[in-house]
Amino acid sequence: MSIGKKKSEAEVKAGLDAGLAAGLDWKSGRVFAYAYDPGEDVRRVAQNAYAQFAYENALDPTVFPGLLQFEREIGAKLLNHLNAPENAGAIYTSGGTESCMLGVRSALRCAQEKRPRLTAPELVLSNTTHPAFHKAANYFGIKVVIVDVDAKTAAPTAEAIAAAINERTVAVIASAPSYAHGVIDPVEAIAKVCREKDIWLHVDACVGGMLLPYYRELGRPIPAFDFSVPGVESISIDLHKYGYTPKGVSFILHRDRNNQRFQRFTHTDWTGYTFVNQAMQSSRLGGPLAAAWAVLNYVGDEGYLDISRRMIADTDRLIAGIKAVDGLDIFGDPQFSMVAFYTTDGTDALVVADEMSMRGFQLQGQIGNRGLPSTVHVSLHQGNGRQIDAFIQALNESMAAARIHCASQTGGASELINDELIEHLATAEDPTPVIEGLFTAVGLGDGKLPERTAAIFNLLDRFPAQIRNRILSDFAGKIYDPSTAR
């Protein structure tokens, strides 16, 4: 026996409180990534619903028919929200990645049914498409074909997509919008290509699907991206982002609910119960689903319109403020409340992100890719608009500090990188010792989370993707090592 000594309820609560205190105060409005604050009243409604259904499971609708009804009602709302036809379908998943993977899974199996001789299937997407689709391709044995986006618009062209499609293509992915830059791909033009070539088109609307229809209602020029566009076969949409529900709720929507059979898994060739999974996971948590149902009904169209109205104004103010900072500009043409900025004067944008962190603002640094510059991602939500003036002031200070930092830097771990080292890591039977040396060089030898990340990102940027991924995997192994908890 090794679970440990029984603790009192007070001791357990103290441990939980310590865990919360160790994290970022995302309710402060100074966290511009990962968290989406719905406000105190919505949090209360969600938490009560979550707790009430914490031990319920949407795996078997005959045991928990209430959850089945919640799933049906949410699905109906989302399908109506995104202009789906009468025969459309919707399934609850644990998050955007699962929804995206199910979209790819459905497209693959549909293509295999239509083309029995299909071998070496391919997935066409752009270099701004979310990594969830690369993960899906990795899991399902699909080759990824990457289309570069336009360096100014940060969106792929339909012509480039068309050129990448061949007889092995099983699906094309479009974003509405891309997470990194908030840019909506030209879904109508891409869908036209997919219809002509009879290729499944999945639209990743994980971040934008909830609020973009309200943005359009409020007069923003939002291009069509949903089921109103002929050729869009499936859509992923998260509720735990801009639907402001607790984490763990997304939906995969199908234009034709008969196509849900391609994502469904059933099994009866064993001695146990009849096994039917709607999604990739068997158990589907009741708490997040109940909380999502509660939040959608509590906020309603009126509430989401009000949230969208404030977020639009805040986004315009944020973009104007960023552009007013000497040496900064917005990358692409964001149409949503996720934006990315880059430097125009040679200052390291990733150092700017570090400096913002030192001033209490949490952002996301983004390494440059395939000719695109390194950028800093900013996610606005209805809870951090009140911090925009302080954000812009801190950004001016951070740019000044980053210039000084960059001018003073000589040498560093990145200078350890040369062609010989890259070749060694690519061919070594066990590259672990060299990778451990790199960790030590950038201050990660103990596996602790770093306060600054620019040096690490810039180190990674010197390597090809394959080696970079191995380094990241090894680092994850260090920070999740259970022995550090002893």
418 in a structural domain: no
Distance in angstroms between the alpha carbons of the first and the last residue of the chain = 16
Q: What is the CATH number of the domain that holds 226?
A: 3.40.640.10
- DSSP track, 335-376: -SSEEEEEESSS--HHHHHHHHHHTT-B-EEE--BTTBPPEE
- The range of the structural domain enclosing residue 138 comes to 50-267+276-295
The pLDDT score that the predictor gives to residue 165 is 98
Residues 6+ apart with CB under 8 A from 47: 246, 291
Residue 328 forms beta bridges with which residues? 343
2 in a structural domain: no
Distance CA 441, CA 159 (A): 45
405 in a structural domain: no
Q: What is the pTM of this model?
A: 0.94
282 in a structural domain: yes
- 89-93 and 250-254 as β-strands: parallel, antiparallel, unpaired? antiparallel
284 in a structural domain: yes
Whether the Cβ atoms of residue 168 and residue 120 lie closer than 8 Å to each other: yes
249 in a structural domain: yes
Cis peptide before 85 (omega within 30 of 0): no
474 in a structural domain: yes
89 and 238 housed in the same domain: yes
Residue 412's Cα: distance from chain center in Å?
Answer: 31
Per the structure, the count of domains in the chain is 2
The pLDDT score that the predictor gives to residue 471 is 83
Residues 6+ apart with CB under 8 A from 301: 214
Output the CA angle 159-164-169, nearest 5 degrees. 125
Residues 6+ apart with CB under 8 A from 453: 350, 353, 354, 365
pLDDT, averaged in runs of 10, over the chain (486 residues) = 84 90 85 90 97 94 94 98 97 97 98 95 98 98 97 96 98 97 98 98 98 98 98 98 97 97 95 93 95 98 97 97 97 96 95 94 91 94 94 97 81 63 80 82 72 78 82 83 72
The pLDDT score that the predictor gives to residue 410 is 53
331 in a structural domain: no
Structural tokens at position 94:
């644990």
C-alpha to C-alpha distances, 12 to 5, 30, 49, 204, 482, nearest whole angstrom:
12, 29, 22, 40, 20
